[in-house]
Structure 1
Amino acid sequence: MGEATTRFVERTLCPLGKGSHATPEFEENKSLCGAGILFMLPSLLAQGLLKAKEVFRLPSSHYYGLESVVLTLAFMALARIKNPEQLKQCKPGEIGRLIGLD
């Protein structure tokens, strides 16, 4: 697990099939790279961003639920990250805190 991992119990239980996906939890941070993206979160939610769970389903034994995947894709677009391959250049802990998982 990475250095920025704070929810290691949930990360450990999901692959074993003993937990469900982690729900995003946003916490107070003093410094977060790309935090300006969070200003768009209320407007994205008002437009129905998370209504995808009414149509699509993911297996419940994964750490990343549908909400987290949709938030990641939306934040990628706002951060001008053109494809998932470019996420390798971002710090995983920073992205995790942006989507509420670390």
Structure 2
Amino acid sequence: MGMGATRTLERVLAATGNLAAAESSFEAAVDVSNGGVLWALPALIANGLLRHTEQYFRLPNGYYSVTHIFLILGYMALCGIKT
């Protein structure tokens, strides 16, 4: 584990294949860069971002689920992040 790793128990369980996916966790923050794109979550869901992900995509057990991956890709697109 790196020095900046959080939720180490969940990360160890995921690394050993004993966790299907970690649950999303949100914390209070004073300022979040590009935080306005979080308001787009309902629109992304309403437009079907996650409608068929479980049907067409599968990941082995790990820390991140297919839902996590698609949400982060959607947010990256909204923020204009290319890589």
Shift of 1:20: 1.6
1:78 aligns with 2:54: no
Q: Name the structure 2 match of 1:34.
A: 34
Q: State the alpha-carbon separation in 1 of the partners of residues 26 and 46 from structure 2.
A: 18
Aligned length: 81
What is the Cα deviation at residue 55 of structure 1?
A: 2.2
Gapped runs of 5+ residues in structure 1?
A: 84-102
Q: TM-score w.r.t. structure 2 length?
A: 0.82
CA distance in 2, matches of 1:25, 1:9: 14
Task: Please list the CA deviations of residues 3-34 of structure 1 after superposition, one character each: whole Å capped at 9, or x if unmatched.
Answer: 2x432211111111121211323333222122
Normalised by the size of structure 1, how large is the TM-score? Answer: 0.69
Q: Distance in 1 between matches of 2:23 and 2:56?
A: 18
Provide the aligned C-alpha RMSD in A.
1.6
Structure 2 residue ranges without an equivalent (≥5): none
Q: Distance in 2 between matches of 1:69 and 1:42?
A: 16
Q: Radius of gyration: which is bigger?
A: 2
The Cα of 1:2 is off from its aligned counterpart by 4.8
